[in-house]
């Protein structure tokens, strides 16, 4: 009886040690994947910031004036509003 109890206890301990090793190794593998995803996320965040800056500069009036000068639109005209009577009768 004592011999069977020692054998089953030893077997249970070996199974628990193997299960613990499996959990530790899979945890290390998952942490490596998390680090990889964090690096990719950081690089995508940096790319996104640079693209946001480009979009903001393309939508700015400074860019519009530079493009207008490049294409020869240097004269500025006064805006015309349709609520004035002389434009409403045309």
Rounded to the nearest 10 degrees, the angle between the axes of helix 2-58 and helix 61-70 is 50
Q: Is residue 53 part of a domain?
A: yes
Q: Is residue 80 part of a domain?
A: no
Domain count, the chain: 1
For residue 48, what are the domain limits?
A: 39-73
Q: Is residue 63 part of a domain?
A: yes
- In SS3 terms, 5-33 reads as HHHHHHHHHHHHHHHHHHHHHHHHHHHHH
Taking the C-alpha atoms of residue 34 and residue 41, their distance in angstroms, rounded to an integer, is 10
Q: What local confidence, expressed as pLDDT, does residue 71 receive?
A: 83
Q: Is residue 49 part of a domain?
A: yes
Q: What local confidence, expressed as pLDDT, does residue 57 receive?
A: 80
Q: What local confidence, expressed as pLDDT, does residue 84 receive?
A: 60
Q: What local confidence, expressed as pLDDT, does residue 89 receive?
A: 54
Report the 10 Å Cβ neighbour count for 2: 6
Q: What local confidence, expressed as pLDDT, does residue 67 receive?
A: 81
Taking the C-alpha atoms of residue 14 and residue 20, their distance in angstroms, rounded to an integer, is 10
Q: Which residues of the chain have pLDDT under 50?
A: 90
């Amino acid at each position: 009886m004592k011999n069977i109890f020692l054998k089953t206890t030893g077997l249970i301990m070996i199974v628990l040690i193997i299960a613990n090793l499996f959990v530790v190794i899979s945890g290390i593998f998952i942490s490596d994947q998390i680090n990889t995803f964090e690096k990719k996320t950081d690089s995508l965040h940096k790319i996104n910031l640079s693209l946001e800056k480009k979009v903001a500069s393309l939508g700015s009036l400074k860019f519009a004036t530079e493009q207008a000068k490049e294409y020869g639109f240097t004269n500025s005209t006064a805006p015309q509003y349709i609520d004035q009577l002389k434009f409403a009768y045309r």
